């Protein structure tokens, strides 16, 4: 059986041209199922309908399958016997009677329909020669409401695989059967060709019959898909003409292939509508995102501000200025400055206070991004409440604190990585200052030696008259002048480095802030965005299903 069905499935897939609306309907259904999986919706029923559809089109035969379905004792078997003009399926007063499905098939279709009937698990098959009812094989099914539960299970297994259904009821059961039966309500939208038969019409007077029919038609109109009216017929198997309307309905110019395709499309359409509804998509309204643009922008803005606080841009600025000053010191302070900057570096103080790269990379040591996580979660919480119940769990999962934190950390790490290595600026003037500092250091050293010689040997050196102090020996004046020059040079260097450093600090501060902003905007809500994307895909595919399966 499996091998026959598998072979049929291969045929079914290849039989449909890609331009065929049914092929488009099947493909769009699969897109809906895939998007719905991402949203955590149940897609088992839809995928089963898809599989059934693919298999059904692959089976050979030029007849469609119509099932007689309904409660026990309503006269399903009697109706089949009436149509056949003889006993095909045993009918009796015993409840329930029919336990296994019975098929009544036109002789020329018996062989081609073999694999399909096998797939349905129908083994009792009767052939007939008439074609007056059109290309139809009729199945008498067990009941759906007796104490024998397996009967209903058997029917539920067969109904997804038949092409058309005659729902049979009687004047006693009709109210329960259609008005309050979830079973029927769930099936009616999934079948394109169907009729409701109120059998045993011989038991009611004409007026009651007409009233029952009107009631049923009105109720069915509410349950059917796309305003496709379900016909309601009265029938009787004890009255000679009681099945004429049913015969006429069966024979009314039916194209078997159209019935088969209509059934598949109706089932897929109904299944897709169920899934779309669960995703909160209304086919008559544009789909809005879970998180509205304004709330999203606000959440991102607040989260970015919180992250920037955690990163500490003022700290970064101070580090950048200090790093620039350190570079200036090592280039422009002459021999003594070089010694101090070496000592600075050796002690590790330079890296602690003047290394913006290290400062950025180690943001985790300083800042807690908890407030940023809260900002995102607050922005999304209203959307979760507003979302349809079926998608709420997966939405909540997408903005779970650990998930949001991970997203923000990823965004921040990427932003810092993207900024690249920060190299403090330098200036040619610093080397010039460095040279002058070296000269002033040499001058200080020579002046100091001269001072020592002057103290010990008092050579004649002349003196310079300094205001207020009076004449001062030249070695002292020289020592003071060089020291002063060194001091002034150091101050000039410091001022210039500070100016360049703060300009650079402003640039990198902006660069880091922009990178963080961009990354958070694009990445912090990645899990939520995946859901938004799935919902958009679902809405698009569902719209395609409406047009191609409709």
Ligand X SMILES: Nc1nc2c(ncn2[C@@H]2O[C@H](COP(=O)(O)OP(=O)(O)OP(=O)(O)O)[C@@H](O)[C@H]2O)c(=O)[nH]1
Binding site for Mg ion (CB under 5 A): 76-77, 97-98
Q: If binding is defined by CB under 6 A, does position 279 make contact with ligand X? A: no
Based on CB atoms, which residue is closest to ligand X, 92 or 226? 92
Based on CB atoms, which residue is closest to Mg ion, 72 or 478? 72
User: Which of 495, 466, 494 lies closest to 479, judged by CA?
Assistant: 466
Query: For 407-431, b where at least 16 C-beta lie within 10 A, e where not — what string?
Result: bbbebbebbbeebeebebebbebbe
Q: Please state the closest distance from residue 120 (CB atom) to ligand X, in A.
A: 17
**Ranges within 143-162 binding ligand X (CB under 6 A):** 143
Q: Please state the closest distance from residue 152 (CB atom) to ligand X, in A.
A: 11
Q: Within 10 Å of residue 393's Cβ, how many Cβ atoms?
A: 13
User: Which of 260, 118, 266, 265 lies closest to 190, judged by CA?
Assistant: 266
Cα–Cα distances in angstroms (integers) from residue 271 to residues 12, 50, 79, 157, 339, in the given order: 20, 9, 31, 17, 80
Integer Cα distance of 301 and 29 in angstroms:
38
Based on CB atoms, which residue is closest to ligand X, 149 or 285? 149
Q: If binding is defined by CB under 6 A, does position 77 make contact with ligand X? A: yes
Give the E-state strand segments of 102-162 in sequence order: 102-106, 124-128, 136-140
In the list Mg ion, ligand X, none, the entry touching 546 (Cβ below 5 to 8 angstroms by class) is none
Whether residue 61 is preceded by a cis peptide bond, meaning omega within 30 degrees of 0, is no
Q: Please state the closest distance from residue 89 (CB atom) to ligand X, in A.
A: 7
Based on CB atoms, which residue is closest to ligand X, 213 or 496? 213
Q: Do 269 and 174 touch, CB atoms closer than 8 A?
A: no
Q: Please state the closest distance from residue 123 (CB atom) to ligand X, in A.
A: 17
Based on CB atoms, which residue is closest to Mg ion, 97 or 478? 97
Based on CB atoms, which residue is closest to ligand X, 202 or 409? 202
User: Which of 86, 158, 78 lies closest to 117, judged by CA?
Assistant: 158
User: Which of 402, 395, 394 lies closest to 380, judged by CA?
Assistant: 395
List the one residue from 1, 17, 93, 132 that touches ligand X (CB under 6 A): 93
Residues 6+ apart with CB under 8 A from 234: 197, 198, 201, 209, 212, 213, 245
Q: If binding is defined by CB under 6 A, does position 173 make contact with ligand X? A: no
List the one residue from 21, 96, 114, 498 that touches ligand X (CB under 6 A): 96
Beta strand 463-466 with 231-234 is unpaired
Q: Please state the closest distance from residue 69 (CB atom) to Mg ion, in A.
A: 11
Q: Please state the closest distance from residue 133 (CB atom) to ligand X, in A.
A: 18
Based on CB atoms, which residue is closest to Mg ion, 80 or 318? 80
In the list ligand X, Mg ion, none, the entry touching 237 (Cβ below 5 to 8 angstroms by class) is ligand X
From the list 72-80, 106-114, 417-425, 454-462, the region that binds ligand X by CB under 6 A is: 72-80
Place of tokens 């049913």: 246
Integer Cα distance of 54 and 56 in angstroms:
6
Q: Please state the closest distance from residue 83 (CB atom) to ligand X, in A.
A: 12
Q: Please state the closest distance from residue 125 (CB atom) to Mg ion, in A.
A: 16
Which residue's Cβ lies closest to ligand X?
Answer: 75
In the list ligand X, Mg ion, none, the entry touching 93 (Cβ below 5 to 8 angstroms by class) is ligand X
Q: Do 382 and 431 touch, CB atoms closer than 8 A?
A: no
List the one residue from 60, 95, 218, 452 that touches ligand X (CB under 6 A): 95
Helices (H), 198-255: 206-223, 244-251
Token pair listed for 151: 């009967």
Q: If binding is defined by CB under 6 A, does position 43 make contact with ligand X? A: no
Based on CB atoms, which residue is closest to ligand X, 76 or 261? 76
Based on CB atoms, which residue is closest to ligand X, 74 or 321? 74
Based on CB atoms, which residue is closest to Mg ion, 97 or 194? 97
Q: Please state the closest distance from residue 125 (CB atom) to ligand X, in A.
A: 18
Q: Do 549 and 25 touch, CB atoms closer than 8 A?
A: yes
Size of the site for ligand X (CB under 6 A): 23
User: Which of 190, 194, 148, 143 lies closest to 170, judged by CA?
Assistant: 143
Q: Do 474 and 462 touch, CB atoms closer than 8 A?
A: yes
Q: Please state the closest distance from residue 158 (CB atom) to ligand X, in A.
A: 14
**Ranges within 223-252 binding ligand X (CB under 6 A):** 236-238
Beta strand 470-473 with 463-466 is antiparallel
Based on CB atoms, which residue is closest to Mg ion, 76 or 200? 76
Cα–Cα distances in angstroms (integers) from residue 432 to residues 335, 426, 429, 481, 497, in the given order: 14, 12, 5, 19, 14
List the one residue from 107, 123, 180, 203 that touches ligand X (CB under 6 A): 203
Integer Cα distance of 321 and 217 in angstroms:
84
From the list 25-33, 87-95, 259-267, 317-325, the region that binds ligand X by CB under 6 A is: 87-95
**Ranges within 113-142 binding ligand X (CB under 6 A):** 142
Q: Please state the closest distance from residue 105 (CB atom) to ligand X, in A.
A: 18
Q: Please state the closest distance from residue 107 (CB atom) to Mg ion, in A.
A: 23
User: Which of 193, 149, 148 lies closest to 167, judged by CA?
Assistant: 193
Q: Please state the closest distance from residue 406 (CB atom) to ligand X, in A.
A: 59
Q: State phi, psi for 455 to the nearest 5 degrees.
A: -65, -40
Based on CB atoms, which residue is closest to ligand X, 203 or 349? 203
Based on CB atoms, which residue is closest to ligand X, 93 or 457? 93
Binding site for ligand X (CB under 6 A): 72-78, 91-93, 95-98, 142-143, 199-200, 202-203, 236-238
């Amino acid at each position: 059986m499996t091998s026959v069905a598998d072979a049929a499935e291969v045929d079914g897939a290849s039989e449909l041209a890609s331009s065929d609306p049914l092929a488009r309907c099947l493909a769009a259904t699969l897109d809906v199922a895939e998007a719905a999986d991402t949203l955590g919706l149940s897609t088992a029923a839809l995928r089963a309908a898809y599989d059934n559809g693919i298999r059904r089109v692959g089976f050979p035969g030029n007849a469609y399958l119509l099932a007689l379905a309904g409660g026990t004792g309503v006269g399903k078997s009697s109706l089949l016997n009436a149509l056949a003009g003889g006993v095909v399926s045993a009918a009796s007063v015993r409840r329930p009677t029919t336990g296994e499905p019975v098929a009544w098939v036109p002789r020329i279709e018996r062989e081609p329909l073999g694999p399909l009937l096998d797939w349905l698990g129908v083994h009792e098959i009767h052939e007939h020669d008439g074609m007056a009812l059109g290309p139809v094989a009729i199945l008498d099914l067990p009941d759906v409401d007796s104490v024998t539960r397996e009967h209903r299970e058997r029917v539920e297994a067969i109904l997804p695989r038949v092409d058309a259904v005659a729902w049979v009821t009687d004047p006693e059961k009709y109210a329960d059967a259609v008005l309050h039966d979830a079973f029927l309500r769930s099936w009616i939208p999934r079948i394109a060709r169907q009729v409701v038969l109120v059998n045993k019409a011989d038991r009611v007077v004409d007026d009651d019959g007409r009233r029952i029919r009107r009631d049923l038609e009105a109720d069915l109109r509410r349950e059917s898909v796309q305003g496709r009216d379900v016909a309601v017929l009265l029938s009787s198997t004890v009255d000679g003409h009681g099945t004429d309307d049913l015969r006429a309905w069966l024979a009314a110019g039916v194209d078997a292939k159209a019935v088969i395709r209509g059934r598949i499309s109706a089932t897929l359409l109904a299944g897709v509508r169920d899934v779309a509804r669960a995703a909160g998509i209304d086919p008559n309204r544009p789909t809005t995102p879970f998180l509205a643009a304004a709330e999203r922008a606000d959440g991102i803005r607040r989260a970015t501000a919180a992250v920037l606080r955690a990163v500490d841009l003022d700290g970064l600025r101070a580090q950048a200025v200090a790093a620039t000053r350190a570079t200036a010191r090592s280039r422009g302070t002459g021999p003594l400055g070089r010694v101090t900057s070496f000592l600075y570096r050796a002690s590790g103080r330079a890296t602690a206070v003047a290394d913006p790269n290290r400062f950025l990379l180690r943001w985790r040591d300083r800042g807690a991004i908890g407030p940023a996580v809260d900002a995102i979660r607050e922005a999304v919480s209203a959307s979760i409440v507003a979302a349809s119940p079926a998608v709420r769990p997966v939405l909540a999962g997408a903005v779970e604190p650990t998930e949001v934190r991970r997203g923000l950390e990823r965004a921040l790490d990427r932003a810092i990585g993207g900024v690249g290595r920060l190299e403090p600026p330098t200036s040619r003037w610093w080397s010039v200052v460095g040279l002058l500092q070296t000269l002033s250091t040499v001058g200080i050293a020579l002046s100091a030696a001269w001072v020592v010689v002057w103290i010990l040997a008092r050579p004649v050196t002349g003196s310079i008259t300094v205001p207020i102090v009076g004449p001062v020996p030249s070695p002292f004046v020289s020592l003071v002048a060089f020291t002063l020059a060194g001091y002034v040079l150091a101050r000039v260097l410091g001022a210039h480095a500070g100016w360049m450093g703060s300009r650079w600090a402003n640039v990198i501060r902006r660069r880091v802030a922009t990178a963080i902003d961009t990354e958070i905007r694009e990445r912090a809500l990645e899990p939520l965005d995946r859901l938004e994307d799935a919902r958009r895909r679902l809405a698009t595919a569902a719209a395609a299903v409406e047009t191609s399966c409709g």
